[in-house]
């Protein structure tokens, strides 16, 4: 059974800190791993997608890594800003277009 877990559920950091969000998945037969951001009352915005053959992807201050053998992905945010405050979700794609979502990490970056 495919399960995706995100720990911690909530994280509060001072502005400027580098931070890491964790995502773990039970079935390593993923097609890709995607990170999203969700602001209150809004839809999910795609941040980064890592295909199963890739190890990491970078976009600006964001870096996502994927380790299929250990069933883990991390999202690294450098020099965090108050505007980064949001809920971050990861989703693992399996066969037949099945995306499984974690329950998210709610990030608060304090000015």
Partner 1 sequence: DTAVSQTPKYLVTQMGNDKSIKCEQNLGHDTMYWYKQDSKKFLKIMFSYNNKELIINETVPNRFSPKSPDKAHLNLHINSLELGDSAVYFCASSFTGESGELFFGEGSRLTVL
| Residues 19, 3: Cα–Cα separation, whole Å | 24
> Is 93 near partner 1 (CB under 8 A)?
yes
> Is 99 near partner 1 (CB under 8 A)?
yes
For 83, which DSSP code?
G
> Is 70 near partner 1 (CB under 8 A)?
no
Q: Which residue number, 15 or 67, has a Cβ lying nearer to partner 1?
A: 67
- Nearest approach in angstroms of CB 31 to partner 1 is 5
> Residues 20-49: x/- map of binding to partner 1 (CB under 8 A)?
-----------xx-x-x-x--xxxxxx--x
| Residues 24, 90: Cα–Cα separation, whole Å | 9
Q: Tell me what percent of the chain is helix, strand and coil, each rounded to the nearest 5.
A: 5, 60, 40
CA 24 remoteness from chain centre = 10
Count of positions on this chain that bind partner 1 (CB under 8 A): 26
Non-local (6+) Cβ contacts of 51 within 8 A are 31, 32
The binding site for partner 1 (CB under 8 A) comprises: 31-32, 34, 36, 38, 41-46, 49, 51-53, 87, 89, 91, 93, 96-99, 101, 103-104
């Amino acid at each position: 059974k495919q399960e995706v877990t995100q720990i911690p559920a909530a994280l509060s950091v001072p502005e400027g800190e580098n931070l890491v969000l964790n995502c773990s998945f039970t079935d390593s037969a993923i097609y890709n791993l995607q990170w999203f951001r969700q602001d209150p009352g809004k839809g999910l915005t795609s941040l980064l997608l890592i295909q199963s053959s890739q190890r990491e992807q970078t976009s600006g201050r964001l870096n996502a890594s994927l380790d299929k053998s250990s069933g883990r992905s991390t999202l690294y945010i450098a020099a965090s800003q108050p505007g980064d405050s949001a809920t971050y979700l990861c989703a693992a794609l399996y066969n037949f277009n099945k995306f499984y979502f974690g329950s998210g990490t709610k990030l608060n970056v304090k000015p």
